[in-house]
Chains A and B, each alone.
Chain A
Amino acid sequence: MKSAPLAIVVRTAGTNCDRETCMALERAGAKVELTHLYRLLEQPARLEAASMVVFPGGFSYGDDVAAGRIQGFEVRQSLAPALFEFVAGGGFVLGICNGFQVLVDTGLLEGLPQAGKREVALSSNVRGRFECRWVHLINEDSRCTWLPAGRVWPVPIAHGEGRVTLRDDAVLERLKSERRIVLRYVRPDGTRATSADELEVCPNGSLDQIAGLCDLTGRIIGLMPHPERNITPWHHPQWTRLSGTRTEGEGLDFYRRMVVAASQSAATRSGRIPTNA
């Protein structure tokens, strides 16, 4: 019997989605270790046992200065080399909401261990305020091949700084051609918004309605929405009107597939299972 792959969930002052993130990972088949960032900074070798490192949502350090900035700074200062090595060895890194902001700030999503060179930013929502509501996402055909492309699913967002902003248009073209756009905000029927309904479909006003990105390996993934808040049948805001046959929320599938992919990646790394690609 294969043991469950280990997910290290990193918390620090202000992390606050750790409960639902641990719950989702456990239901998705992972073994979960909730660890304070400072313990990980002290002992980066703890990553060796893990298949996944997850930065959950919240307001790390109060989002003082900017969302995810301080935690991004701390990770970049002390943990970035170990994380790069971890990913190079097949490990998965997931950042959700504030975790996405942290990944962007560190430069990890762009393969950059230093500040100042980034081309991707998460800016204040176009309405200029925090917003909590449900949206629909589509899995794009991306380097995250473990996500079935074309599937549309509901999920909540809750953030004030989630608007994907790029240095220039060339960056967007490169993200597209490198298949690094993992998720987009779409209408419930899966079609793209037009300028008329853009803010209803994509409330933060993200460029090209981007909701999630990955790095060139496809193993560092960041997204603003919270799949872990749609894992029970009762999380959906309209469950009282939906059919009684739903046994789980649509966000659980995201975690389940990632856990499987991460565990296969780790197994491949250790040479136990031949590569299937």
Chain B
Amino acid sequence: MTFDPRPPAHLPDDDRIARLDARFGELAELTDALLRSLREGAADPALADRWLAVWREAARGEAVLNLIREVERERQENQTLTEISMKLSSTSAIEEVLRTILDSLRQVVQFDAAGIFVYDREIGQLEIDMLVGYEKSERQILYQKFQEGVKVGQGIVGTVIMTGHYIYDPDVRRDPRYIAARESTLSELAVPIMARGEIIGALNLESDKPDAFTERDRRSLTAFANHAGVALERARSDRLRQHTRRMQEEITLARRIQSSFLPESTPDFAPYDLAGANFPSSEVGGDYFDFIPITQNDMGVAIGDVTGHGVGAALLMANFRACLRIESRNNFAVRAILGKVNDYLYETNLPESFVTAVYGVLDRQNHVFSYANAGHNPPFRLRRDGSAELLTVGGLLLGAFPNVAYEETSVQLSPGDVLLFYTDGVTEAHDNEGNEFGAERLRTMVQKLRNLSAREIVKQVSEAVREFQSVEIAQDDLTLSIVKYD
């Protein structure tokens, strides 16, 4: 059927209705007269002819009027659906659109209450999205019942969503499926709401009269449900988009926090050559490395890894860094610094979050590196002769337990020594087959590159790791730093 938005030429104007009413009045009078004459046993043929003529005219008038009413309803329905479409394109507020749908529906179908219900596939339950015509107390009853959980297949609405077929219930008192909230409801009509070929919910109407809805009403309701489907589907994709945007914002924020705390340039500390690099993963972890000038001849060297990802990890890392930098200025004993940092993090952090770290002080006059390892992947000390040693002395990871004692030790460095610090993102980087890069591969590689500058070693190793690792699997942050005794 094509839709002509112009009002039809044959609107049932008051005049026509008045004339028809007069015809029915005349018919009633003639009927009375005819019955009287029949009872009296003297039927008047002229009266009977006249009665028949008026009856025909009135019946024809009624039929035409019904047709006109039908056309008018169609026009009204099309007009309101057009209005809803316009509303849909002008506002993204789902509440407003759904309310408009139910309000407009009133102009086409008579009902006392209506509701739009949405099926949440993830939890397998139904939710109420919009109700009209419910008293406050009735609304509460319904909300409570839905909060307790109405599943697909339960209630009239739930059955419609399960089967995808409408249900017309002319007398809900005799239907065990009916979930009673409005006491006065006697009949109910519910149709499914579809979107992209899937059932996403149901639209239902309730009436205080029994058998209140017609097949024509059902067709109207289905047309309105289609619009509700478009609105709900659009709201869903809007929500999804917003969620994705929020996630991206969080990642950007975390990345900004993280990168603002990493050294922008490495200090000159001859005869030592220092370099470090961090490659944040897509999820943003909490990796950290630092070179902290303490005195003219003492340089703090740190590497750390914080549990978790995102803003939480970035903040914990910021906390750890601030704490370490403050304590490293007040204190010279590495084990005392880590003990204080541990207690501070323990007091301020959740029990399940912690930091693994190595902190040490490089003394360039005496060529001594004094360090403590707090539960971190042990750095390598690579000697010129190819031998290696792991820097493992220290204590527990930081921030998980109170009053932890740390041990420290001093390493006497010789010319050509390379200290290699890294986070588990380097050694646990894995390729498509699930093979890890591994500490051994890392050690061998740095041994081979040992004659290059610290910066060049960091560059080549991180390139090799990034080349090795699979792009399809989510990877951790990569952090690497080198201290080289030239």
A and B associate: no
Q: Give B residues with C-beta under 8 Å from A.
A: none
Measured CB to CB, the residues of A under 8 A from B are: none
